[in-house]
Structure 1
Amino acid sequence: MKNNIVAIILSACIALFCLPLHASVDDQPLSTQEVETALQTLVRTIDSQYLSDKHRTRISRKIQRAISEGEFENSFTFGRFKRKVEAMLIEASGDTNFEIHWRAGMTGIAEKKPEPYPGSLQRQIFDNDIGYIAVEGDMLSNGWQAEWNQAISKLSRSKALIIDLRHAGSMSLTLSQHVLNYFIVPGNTISEVRFAGNKHTSLVTEKTADNPFDAELPVYIITSPFIAGPWELVAYTMKHMDRATLVGMPTMGLGYMTKTVALSPHLNIVLAHAEFRHPATQDNWQDWGVLPHVKCESHDALKATLTLIKNKVDSANGEDKHTGRVLCETNTNVKAN
């Protein structure tokens, strides 16, 4: 009996004090004043910083109408406010990038952010001097440029290079440009970036010191559905600059850049504020993803890539190019993505 009582007390303590953090955040009450402030700031933020010109007015009108009809007069917890506002924004725009987040503010309570997954660069040389770089985890700090420099230096004698992105996580835009500098001739525009208000800037390749690769090095990039953002910029650019053959599956399809804006002492919004546009296609990979030349399941992609390289070498040597057939489906009608 005593053991049962102890177990009940322990269970009660766990229920009271060890709840998941997100549950505590969802239940946080919002004052009427904070809801009003957040909605007013939201309208101004949409008008000045949201990417889509055609949806900007529609979103603002929808929010203003909801306010005038009294939809925000009742009490709100953070969770209820988040669900209502996100649903309104997505319904008005079709854009799923919108997210409302809780800021720590005076309560000291904050949403738990995902920890960066430790990154690594694995390199090796296969038979026939085929260089191989496997990217794993997140690469967000400036130190990764030096890591890439070292990896490229070690593979400088490669006759072909495979960049395996199947397990790649997040990366910085700065690092994506650095990687592209190895393969795209300096001075080339790799992407236009369009911001709200039809403002533009260009991303241009720069000369990389001690670059061991020439413009003729065959490059192969292995893709997967989990590749997003700046890694998609690398794959898309290499594909449409005719600098790489892509093998694998279509990528996630995140061609917008997002930013976080404070709405009130406790609320942030994440929204799309810029998009990439390739100078040749005048398009990007949003929603569709970057489509590979050779569509191939993840577990077969590396073997298929090595077979592609072998076929190319055999063909150049006048041998039967079908001695090692590719295991996957070749996309003969690849879209612009």
Structure 2
Amino acid sequence: MSNSKKTPVKSRWRFLVLFVVVLIILLQAIGLPVAAKTPVPADPTAAQQGLTAAERHTALTQLAAVLAEHYVLPEMAAQLSTALLQAETAGRFHHLQSKQQLVDEVGGWLRSVGKDGHLGLELTQSYGEVTHIRHESEEKRRNNFAFEKLEILPGNIGYLKLNKFVQADAAFDVASQALQFLSRTDALIIDLRESAGGSPQLVRYLLSHFVPADTLLWQLERRSMEQTEQAEEVRAQVVLQKQLQMPLYVLQSVNQASAAEFFSYALQQQGRATVIGETSAGLAHYTGAMAVTDWLFVRIPLARPLFPKNADNFEQRGVVPDVKVPAAAALQQALLLERQRRDNIAQH
């Protein structure tokens, strides 16, 4: 999907990035060097330390450089980086007194300006390393890796409530056991109304129970790659033919985000499920982690998915349900649609 010719759009992006680089060089003349360095182990007390003006300036100018070079959308990368440098020069963040305050306020500012809920900052000391994997709470791990509820509803309708696609090997085992338990139902309702995202690999594994083998789910497009990367399903060891054919209903809410949206959207794109509820949050980008200083790293979108049906995704638009109802009414709506489906079959 690459193009060797320099289009006007790509030339404009290159000009914007060059403009940002010039701004950074100018700031070097009045501040500190802005080139990001490989981090060294963070001071164990970094989270409690205050923030000097020099540390703030270094962090924000190096953050601007990382955004300009790596954020997935080149034009937005240039806009974000330029806006951050201008805000620092204007004194927008000069009141910050601690590193945690910088993480909170600058992170929120980036999400607001970029309209990208995946952007954020973290203290390296809090994680012990620069990592794209967020810490999971012990409560979620004890709670069946967010597989909150399995139930067989009247009429042999399966019901699964999943609150997050947890990034953990054991979550795959729980997923397999859950779907085996529900595999002999005549229809399945998957409730993602409280799901906050998580692991794309677990999404692909769950999807493999409901789509044919070797199904192309989406492709990933990165700034650093000339070719797109295909994402097929992570195949389960046992997939029953009945699961590949059973009626599926996915419940969603306005707060449903990221990995949970991938699940809904992929099934919707494949014509494999009826999505019911509210339009979701609209966080489609793949997010990684990059060092900014020895005490700070940024969670930054590095790739965007392209789904085969429309060569697009749901970023900032959300997954639009097939049947729009308030989230609180989505389960009853799914049960109603399943009854109507069975009545239609009986009549014919």
**TM-score where L is the length of structure 2:** 0.71
| 1:145-156 mapped onto 2 (5 Å cutoff) | 145-156=172-183
| 1:1-337 mapped onto 2 (5 Å cutoff) | 28-63=49-84, 71=91, 76-78=96-98, 81=102, 85=106, 89=110, 93-95=114-116, 97-104=118-125, 115=137, 117=140, 118=143, 119-136=146-163, 139-197=166-224, 199=226, 200-214=228-242, 215-318=244-347
Q: Deviations over 1:269-319 (max 9, x none)?
A: 222222222111112111221111111223322122111111111111117
Partners of 2:222 and 2:333 lie apart in 1 by 39
Change in 2 beyond 3 A, CA 1:182/1:39 = same
Partners of 1:147 and 1:76 lie apart in 2 by 44
Q: Which amino acid aligns with 1:43?
A: A
Q: Which amino acid aligns with 1:286?
A: E
Unaligned runs of 5+ in 1: 1-23, 106-112, 320-337
Q: Which has the higher strand share?
A: 1
Secondary structure at 1:306 match in 2: helix
Structure 1 residue 71, shift from structure 2 partner: 4.7
Change in 2 beyond 3 A, CA 1:230/1:137 = closer
Partners of 1:271 and 1:277 lie apart in 2 by 18
Of the structure 1 ranges 211-220 and 177-186, higher mean CA displacement relative to structure 2 is found in 211-220
Secondary structure at 2:194 match in 1: strand
- Ranked by relative contact order (alpha carbons within 8 Å, sequence separation 6 or more), the top structure is 2
Secondary structure at 2:316 match in 1: coil
Partners of 2:322 and 2:180 lie apart in 1 by 28
Q: Which amino acid aligns with 1:287?
A: Q
Partners of 2:233 and 2:52 lie apart in 1 by 49
> How many pairs were matched up?
289
Question: Does the 8 Å CA contact 2:119/2:301 hold for their aligned counterparts?
Answer: yes
Partner of 1:330: none
Secondary structure at 2:192 match in 1: strand
Change in 2 beyond 3 A, CA 1:258/1:182 = same
Q: Which has the higher helix share?
A: 2
Structure 1 residue 191, shift from structure 2 partner: 0.8
Partners of 1:296 and 1:213 lie apart in 2 by 31
Structure 1 residue 50, shift from structure 2 partner: 0.9
Secondary structure at 1:77 match in 2: coil
Structure 1 residue 218, shift from structure 2 partner: 1.0
Of the structure 1 ranges 77-86 and 293-302, higher mean CA displacement relative to structure 2 is found in 77-86
Structure 1 residue 55, shift from structure 2 partner: 2.3
Secondary structure at 2:275 match in 1: strand
Structure 1 residue 166, shift from structure 2 partner: 2.2
Secondary structure at 2:266 match in 1: helix
Structure 1 residue 122, shift from structure 2 partner: 2.2
Partners of 1:84 and 1:125 lie apart in 2 by 46
Secondary structure at 2:264 match in 1: helix
Partners of 2:173 and 2:111 lie apart in 1 by 40
Secondary structure at 2:335 match in 1: helix
Unaligned runs of 5+ in 2: 1-44, 127-134
Q: Which amino acid aligns with 2:173?
A: A
Change in 2 beyond 3 A, CA 1:28/1:114 = farther
Partners of 1:33 and 1:256 lie apart in 2 by 32
**In angstroms, what is the RMSD of aligned CA positions?**
3.3
Q: Deviations over 1:216-257 (max 9, x none)?
A: 221111112221111110100001100001111111211122
Secondary structure at 1:175 match in 2: helix
Partners of 1:47 and 1:60 lie apart in 2 by 6
Question: Does the 8 Å CA contact 2:268/2:274 hold for their aligned counterparts?
Answer: yes
**TM-score where L is the length of structure 1:** 0.73
